[in-house]
Amino acid sequence: MNYLKVDLQAGVFLLLLVVVLPTIIVLCSEHFLHKQGGYKITLITLGLTFLLTLVFYFNIERSRILVTDTAIELQNFFYSRTIPIEKINTVELYDELPVELSPRLKTNGLAIGSVKIGSFLLKDRKTVFFMSAQPPFNVITLGDDKFIFSTNKEINEKLTTRKTTQ
């Protein structure tokens, strides 16, 4: 089992986006609409957004990769994919993604800092499923589909061993 680790930059960006920005918006709107501070509303908004941020952050942290005898399961709170091992064409391990595998556009997913989860377009306009935060990365080709996820040497060895025995 492998878990995604969210780096500090992504965590700070998430905090700013989900907690600080809504708080500033609420404070400014209260000030301009009522010409007074709505401190109760602000505290409630701040508390709720902080709780939602924590839930969101820990759900990203709970993303996992399960390798069984028949499939690879990429599981996340938002998205999940099951990849049958017998249908895998290639399994590659990269310490750094090549330019042609770097996402260019998010089509249906989440991208905060180095965390990328969901569907993204590559430079060649092909859609790829990402569940990654930091290197090393496994790139699995399944027909025309590609799956890229953060991994470690142990997971990669399990994948290559199971693929060669199939």
Instruction: Give pLDDT tens digits for 35-79.
Output: 665 667 667 777 777 777 777 776 666 677 888 888 888 887 778
Distance from C-alpha of 13 to C-alpha of 117, rounded to nearest angstrom: 16
Q: Residue 50: what pLDDT?
A: 76
Whether residue 160 sits in one domain with residue 103: yes
If one counts every other C-beta atom within 10 angstroms of the C-beta of residue 53, the result is 19
Q: Looking at the structure, tell me whether residues 125 and 91 fall in a common domain.
A: yes
- Number of domains forming the structure of the chain: 2
Residues 45 and 73 in one domain: no
> Is 80 exceeded by the pLDDT of residue 136?
yes
Examine the domain organization and report whether 82 and 103 are in the same domain. yes
CB 25 within 8 A of CB 40: no
Residue 86 sits in which domain range? 67-165
- Widest pairwise Cα distance in the chain: 71
Shared domain for 14 and 35, answered yes or no, is yes
**Nearest residue to 117 via CA among 130, 102, 128, 127:** 130
Statement to judge: residues 97 and 51 lie in one domain: no
